[in-house]
Amino acid sequence: MKLKFKMRPAVVISITSIIGIVMIASAYIELQESKKEIFQLLFEHSSSLLETIVQSSKNALNSGGEIETLLTEKLLDNARLIKQLDNLHLLSNEKLRELASTNNLFRINIFDKSGTRVMTNRVPEPDHPHGEFNVNRFDELEPILSGRQSELIIGIKNAEYTDEQRFAVAVRRTEGGAIVINLDAKEFVEFRKKIGIGKIVRDISDNHGIEYIVLQDSLGILAASAGVDSISSVEEDLFIAHSLNSDSVKARVVESNNKNTYEVSKRLIIDGETIGIFRLGINMEDIERVEQRMIRRLVIISLILIAISVIVLSIIFTSQTLKVVSTEFDKFKTTASSVLENMGEAVIVIDSNYKITLFNKSAEKLFDKFSSKIIGTEISNLFEENYRLIKDKIISSAGSAIYFEQILTVSSESKHLSFNITNNKSSHNSLDTFTIVIKDLTAIKKLEEQAKRNEKLSAMGELASGVAHEIRNPINAIGMIAQRLNKEFSPASDADEYHKINQLLKSEVDRINKIITQFLNYARPVEIRKSKIDSKIFIGDLFLLFQNQAKVKNINFISGTTDSFIFNIDAELMKQALINILQNAFEATEPEGTVKVEYYKKDADAIIIISDTGKGISESNLKKVFDLYFTSKKDGNGLGLSITQKIISQHNGSIELSSKENIGTSFKITLPLL
């Protein structure tokens, strides 16, 4: 059926107008959002720059302080040394000159109690205003001379008769007076100027786009970039006043020299004291030019979009048809995806680059990984050390589908898995994706192994029963003959030895009869009488049976759980089965070792795990432990574990064994709850 649509000019004009209005509105909103983003970037950039200025200023001030402290310590150390020489009366003008030259000191002056200089390293100058010793510094050294201080840091001071500066310290003489040491402070002062805040401000303000950098306090400008003579004060600018009381960076747009400037401010704090506030002005001309270009671009784009919208109207009905097709296709994809997601087998789809594109629920359960974390990653992250094997199989499936089985360690468990790998080709007949269907055969293989073991034990039991019947009659006859000989016949000599041999023959016949009875008991079907049993009470009874043995052997006998649930078993037979395992565990475990019983409910099964830290079972004997009459003990009969397996099997359960030599053994018993 064909559908024809006819669009009138008025409708086209109306739709075009609406689209035009929407496009212009969208362009305006986009412009505003772009401006926000630009200002956000500007704020981050300027904040980072301002933080750098603040931190550099702190470092400069701290560096100056550190250097001054080092200079002070150096001078004080020298002054203390000279004080020791003064105590020994070893000082003279010549000695002071030698010390000054050796330690790179500018001036060493020794003053008496009245503050008059009595010794110096200064070379005599005939025309000097003070002469050589007519120098008194009582006012300057009063804290030392009066005894109030033992050491005095004079710091940087101006030289009295030159334009130079000195850095000085003083220590008190033992007998009164003072020792004063000076350094030429020219290099130190020049260094402070090079690393000072003013230098930092001037250097950074030379960068493109920076209008000004100012450090000011409530009194005025402390430091500023070139060309800044005045700026709004803290009292008249509420924005600055607010910034001075806040630790965060503040930003605003201000008009400066008939142009807009983006200004950020942050206060400078040293050792908890507010020094002032930094103000950084960024030129906005580049931003305004970008904004104008954006406006032009958005207008052009809007016009183009309006033109395109008219064209789009002509194909809108075609699009509707395509939409219907697309909807049907999406339904198909959804159905296919749902089928794959809910398949009982694990399904993994990988692309040609070995990246996972589909990971269904069964795969999540098998590998214990979420699809959200696996999809998009390489398959090597899933199979890890087995990746090379899987990759080789994938490559070999390029021609046709392949099937293979492999035992792999998945989620820390050894599992028997079957793999079915098929390749999917694109419309160009090139390899596009690979589908891997994985089925967990572990439980099936265990059931098969259990069935084989039961079949083997059944056959051995039938054989034992037949042999026992065949042997019992002649053995009984031998026993009766031995008994008659013992009663009716007495030899003429060596009677004692005769009766002793006869008695030994009878005891051996009895022992063979006992073994035959065990054969018959094992071969005879066991009648199961199930009843509902509380797990906690059942395991508790087992603990009571072995508590005394655990104490005697000094073995830790513990329970890993205290769950309580009801399961349907023959309590006496199951107790016999577990006693066989526990007895073996106690015999294999050395003193200070551990025997542990865990039990819990999992889905529709009851799980009982008995483990020990004993000597373990060798790998060669692992497959033999359930065989009839297999034992590694000198006095064992090899029936215990065979009977245990028979009881568990008749409960429709299973038993699994894992063991490592010198580490321990673990038995996992799975029983249906009902």
Strands 431-440, 346-351: pairing is antiparallel
* Distances, alpha carbon 322 to alpha carbons 239, 310, 315, 461, in Å: 60, 19, 11, 73
SS3 229: coil
CA dist., res. 335 & res. 386, Å (int): 33
**Token code pair at residue 380:** 């090597």
- Find the Cα–Cα–Cα–Cα dihedral 638, 644, 649, 651, rounded to 10°: 160
What pLDDT, on a 0 to 100 scale, did the predictor assign at position 590? 93
What pLDDT, on a 0 to 100 scale, did the predictor assign at position 1? 43
Let me know if residue 322 belongs to a domain: no
Let me know if residue 84 belongs to a domain: no
Q: Where are the alpha helices (DSSP H) in 88-106?
A: 93-102
Length of the chain equals 674
Based on the fold, state whether residues 305 and 167 are members of the same structural domain.
no
**Residue type, position 298, single letter:** L
Q: Are 655 and 669 in contact (CB under 8 A)?
A: yes
Helix or strand holding residue 262 (H, E): strand 259-270
Let me know if residue 327 belongs to a domain: no
Let me know if residue 370 belongs to a domain: yes
Based on the fold, state whether residues 505 and 615 are members of the same structural domain.
no
Based on the fold, state whether residues 654 and 573 are members of the same structural domain.
yes
CA dist., res. 595 & res. 597, Å (int): 7
Residue 160 dihedral angles phi and psi, to the nearest 5°: -75, -35
Domain boundary among 440, 457, 483: 440
Based on the fold, state whether residues 460 and 431 are members of the same structural domain.
no
Q: For the packed helices 495-523 and 442-488, what is the interaxial angle rounded to 10 degrees?
A: 150
DSSP string, 463-477: HHHHHHHHHHHHHHH
Based on the fold, state whether residues 407 and 460 are members of the same structural domain.
no
Domain boundary among 523, 543, 568: 523
Let me know if residue 659 belongs to a domain: yes
What pLDDT, on a 0 to 100 scale, did the predictor assign at position 667? 94
**Token code pair at residue 315:** 């194909």
Based on the fold, state whether residues 33 and 61 are members of the same structural domain.
yes
Residue with tokens 């395509």: 322
Let me know if residue 325 belongs to a domain: no
Q: Are 441 and 405 in contact (CB under 8 A)?
A: yes
CATH code: domain of residue 457: 1.10.287
Region label for 401, one of left (φ > 0), alpha (ψ between -120 and 50) or beta (otherwise)? beta
CA dist., res. 653 & res. 645, Å (int): 9
Show Cβ contacts of residue 349 under 8 Å, excluding neighbours closer than 6 positions: 356, 357, 358, 433, 434, 435, 436
SS3 356: strand
Based on the fold, state whether residues 500 and 636 are members of the same structural domain.
no
Q: Which residue range(s) make up the domain with 158?
A: 91-189
Specify the number of domains making up the chain. Answer: 5
Let me know if residue 145 belongs to a domain: yes
pLDDT digits (tens, 9 = 90+) for 291-321: 777 777 777 777 776 677 667 666 665 666 6
pLDDT digits (tens, 9 = 90+) for 401-457: 788 887 877 776 777 888 888 877 765 666 668 888 888 887 777 777 766 766 666
What pLDDT, on a 0 to 100 scale, did the predictor assign at position 307? 72
Based on the fold, state whether residues 131 and 164 are members of the same structural domain.
yes
CA dist., res. 639 & res. 627, Å (int): 8
CA dist., res. 628 & res. 640, Å (int): 9
Closest to 355 measured CA to CA, from 393, 394, 402, 401: 394
Based on the fold, state whether residues 273 and 156 are members of the same structural domain.
no
**Token code pair at residue 40:** 């956000």
Closest to 547 measured CA to CA, from 582, 504, 512, 497: 582
Spans in the chain with pLDDT lower than 50: 1-5
Based on the fold, state whether residues 426 and 508 are members of the same structural domain.
no
Based on the fold, state whether residues 553 and 654 are members of the same structural domain.
yes
CATH code: domain of residue 621: 3.30.565.10
What pLDDT, on a 0 to 100 scale, did the predictor assign at position 318? 62
Domain boundary among 440, 468, 502: 440
CA angle centred on 210, ends 52 and 65, rounded to 5°: 35
CATH code: domain of residue 47: 3.30.450.20
Eight-state DSSP code of residue 611:
E
What pLDDT, on a 0 to 100 scale, did the predictor assign at position 201? 75
Q: Are 92 and 119 in contact (CB under 8 A)?
A: yes
CA dist., res. 264 & res. 252, Å (int): 7
CA dist., res. 568 & res. 544, Å (int): 22
**Token code pair at residue 585:** 């565990």
CA dist., res. 48 & res. 437, Å (int): 55
Let me know if residue 73 belongs to a domain: no
Based on the fold, state whether residues 183 and 200 are members of the same structural domain.
no
Q: CA end-to-end span of the chain, whole Å?
A: 63
CA dist., res. 585 & res. 616, Å (int): 9
